[in-house]
Structure 1
């Protein structure tokens, strides 16, 4: 049998990796919470993206029963297998506890590393979907209700490849942990920028912050106009069905469906009824009462169920792109459509009933440019975060066997 070695390796190591059953690396431990060491505030959740975390901090509440005496205790560096299927991990996930000690339901299996086995190495090994799913697939039987049928000892019967020395395990883990720390820093940076943007938008649209003209003088007082005095509905179906079909979502705005892998079959006959959306148009969607009105950076077509809005007076469209996403506007929208049910479209009349701020076009541009500059900073951080995550994924694929 050909010796197994990873493609990417620290230069001081050259030995082939050992193939060992997981039972040679881990053992199940059954420490329970009978002594009331932990309470319902210490229940842990196992998350694909966040690892093992406090359930209340992660989900906002505890889902534990009245008594947690029978729960498994999870110590630092313990390994936990959760038998809950996820979209990308249909046989559950395996994570190491890198955070606070706590307790988990008896539905979880808890393991501890044997001597010379690094828990972070095990965590990183199974953080690659290909490793995790290939390992668990032959072991897990699915029940009629998609529940997992596997006992805790069976989880340990198959082999994985592991370095001969704990030192190499630790070096791999330490390096990947430094990448994780960089990812966490970027996530925190993005969060802070988003919070800053939200706060400054609130102050701008409440007029706590005002911009000045280029000569230093004050802009005139803001006017307020009903929606139909600024925007008109557009129903243009003059197309040959050759434009991209746009998906309308709170997360992405109006974008071609292919960009977000949004797949839904439509007939040629139905597409012929679709409306043309021009770049810079606004769209009222089924979820506008929750997340505001969407903006399109693309020319395309969308379902006739949507209401397309286009300004007919002098405005900076980006100004309204930001305003329509403020908590303030969404509250106003909901106040004017009180009683609307989920799934019912907001009408143009309801949109028109709301008065919109109308600063001078010059001040609109100042505001839009300022907020766009924050968006540019956020986008740079998001791109760096995406690159770092891809870098980590490449490392996981090449640093393990």
Structure 2
């Protein structure tokens, strides 16, 4: 451990003073290792933590896969997890992601994409957790990361990471303060998850007609009827002639139709976008492009309230009513529903490519939907109100995360 001069943060609790010390991560750990991928997974058994299980500082048990006890005790003995271990992503698109191992997930194991950091007994775990998610670590990753088939940093590089720290009492004070912010974020995330579950439950009841709205006079709406998408969607192939629109949009799994630069950080469009398709407000878009959980593409409504242009590879449809478009958007938020609708329509092409043409897309299975536009509107408005509440919570999460980021930048050297 070596002493440095003028190592003090911009923002500090008033009862503390003096320079901070610089320490190597390997000096405060008893173990830094990683696991490996087992030969088989099972439907139950020992919890196996993969990168996608990391959620903030927490580990999402719903995303576990499982291994058998023999593999856990023998082949993967080195990577058995213990309480207070820190998991650190060392490979993949999310290098630097961090989580904390709690008793509730044990026994558990992990693979080679996650480093296991086991700290010595006299080290403040919460403080190190904050250090590993700080800008200092992000800069270190950026300077040292290897970019091959997938980005990664080595265990040796992780061992050699230097961080700066004050006395243990000051570490505790900083960790306690930031943990309070983390707790607020966790509570907001839980609120968001509960609202999402509520929406999912209400959709199931609405689409099964277990719950029906009444008209403004208290009377029943007409019976629902079965429709194919061709009955309620009309494809339009309007091109962007004369550069009528300049905004290029993408279609994302979570954010739906969104400005391409806002979503991806820059434009990926062709220099000439006159051949791009126009997407108007409330149009429904089918992308055909595989994405995580949606191997045959996603189906989204344009909720931007403005016209724009998108890839000519996408299919664009005008719904019979904007509310039917809203109902389809919500219906196809489900990975299972989207897969089950699209899989019978897939045609295998050359080199085993999987394709669905625009006409076949409209000729899939039938859905029972409301025939009254007023009932459609009531259902769509009800679900939109839940979405608005989810978005408000999401904004609170973003604001709190930004606040924490600012604190990390000022409270650490």
**TM-score strictly above 0.5:** yes
User: How does 1:93-242 map onto structure 2 within 5 Å?
Assistant: 97-99=101-103, 102=107, 108=115, 110-113=117-120, 115=122, 117-128=123-134, 130-135=135-140, 151=156, 156=159, 159-164=162-167, 166-241=168-243, 242=245
Instruction: Name which of structure 1's ranges 233-242 and 44-53 shifts more when overlaid on structure 2.
Output: 44-53
Tell me the distance in 1 between the aligned counterparts of 2:222 and 2:98.
61
Deviations 1:275-301 (A, max 9, x none): 211111111220588565211124111
SS at 1:240 equivalent: helix
- Residue among 58, 61, 65 paired with 2:66: 61
User: How does 1:47-86 map onto structure 2 within 5 Å?
Assistant: 49-51=55-57, 53=59, 58-62=63-67, 66=71, 68-69=73-74, 70-72=77-79, 74-79=81-86, 84-86=90-92
User: How does 1:338-349 map onto structure 2 within 5 Å?
Assistant: 343-349=354-360
CA positional deviation for 1:358: 3.7
Q: Which residue of 1 aligns with 2:280?
A: 278
Tell me the distance in 1 between the aligned counterparts of 2:161 and 2:322.
68
Contact in 1 for aligned 2:56/2:99 (Cα 8 Å): no
- Are 2:262 and 1:256 equivalent residues in the alignment? no
Tell me the distance in 2 between the aligned counterparts of 1:256 and 1:328.
27
Tell me the distance in 2 between the aligned counterparts of 1:18 and 1:197.
50
CA positional deviation for 1:333: 2.6
Q: CA separation of 1:283/1:21 partners in 2, compared to 1, >3 Å: closer, same or farther?
A: closer
SS at 2:362 equivalent: helix
Q: Which residue of 2 aligns with 1:16?
A: 19
> With structure 2 as the length reference, what TM-score do the two structures score?
0.77
CA positional deviation for 1:11: 2.3
User: How does 1:21-32 map onto structure 2 within 5 Å?
Assistant: 21-22=24-25, 24-28=27-31
SS at 2:235 equivalent: strand
Q: CA separation of 1:329/1:141 partners in 2, compared to 1, >3 Å: closer, same or farther?
A: closer
> With structure 1 as the length reference, what TM-score do the two structures score?
0.79
- Are 2:304 and 1:311 equivalent residues in the alignment? no
Q: Which residue of 1 aligns with 2:402?
A: 390
Bigger Cα Rg:
1
Contact in 1 for aligned 2:284/2:302 (Cα 8 Å): yes
CA positional deviation for 1:24: 4.8
Contact in 1 for aligned 2:346/2:354 (Cα 8 Å): no
Contact in 2 for aligned 1:289/1:346 (Cα 8 Å): no
SS at 1:61 equivalent: strand
- Are 2:250 and 1:243 equivalent residues in the alignment? no
Contact in 1 for aligned 2:261/2:267 (Cα 8 Å): no
Tell me the distance in 2 between the aligned counterparts of 1:65 and 1:374.
46
CA positional deviation for 1:127: 1.1
SS at 1:66 equivalent: helix
SS at 2:258 equivalent: strand
CA positional deviation for 1:364: 0.9
CA positional deviation for 1:97: 3.9
CA positional deviation for 1:320: 3.9
User: How does 1:282-361 map onto structure 2 within 5 Å?
Assistant: 282-287=284-289, 290=296, 293-297=299-303, 298-312=306-320, 317-325=325-333, 330=338, 333-334=341-342, 337=345, 343-352=354-363, 354-356=365-367, 357-361=369-373
Deviations 1:16-73 (A, max 9, x none): 322344455444499xxxxxxxxx715555776444748x754323499835344255
Tell me the distance in 2 between the aligned counterparts of 1:325 and 1:106.
30
RMSD: 3.8
Give unmatched runs, 5+ long, in structure 2.
34-44
Q: How many residues align?
A: 383
Tell me the distance in 2 between the aligned counterparts of 1:211 and 1:279.
26
Deviations 1:127-149 (A, max 9, x none): 11x32244567888899997755
Contact in 1 for aligned 2:56/2:98 (Cα 8 Å): no
Contact in 2 for aligned 1:281/1:309 (Cα 8 Å): yes
Give unmatched runs, 5+ long, in structure 1.
31-39
SS at 1:309 equivalent: strand
CA positional deviation for 1:372: 0.8
